[in-house]
Amino acid sequence: MKRFLLAVAILLLPAQALASSCNVTEFSLNAPSGVQVAQVPPLVDQSPVTTSGTSAQSAAFSGDTKMIRAWCDTQSAVAFGSNPTATTNNMPLSAGVPEYFNVIPGQKAAFILRP
Q: Specify whether the CB–CB gap between 27 and 42 falls below 8 A.
A: yes
Q: Give the global pTM.
A: 0.80
The pLDDT tens digits for 23-64 are 999 999 877 767 778 888 999 999 999 999 999 999 999 999
**Helix (H/G/I), strand (E/B), else coil: 51:** strand
Helix (H) or strand (E) holding 115: none
Q: What is the mean pLDDT of residues 104-113?
A: 97
Residue 18 confidence class, pLDDT cut points 50, 70, 90:
low
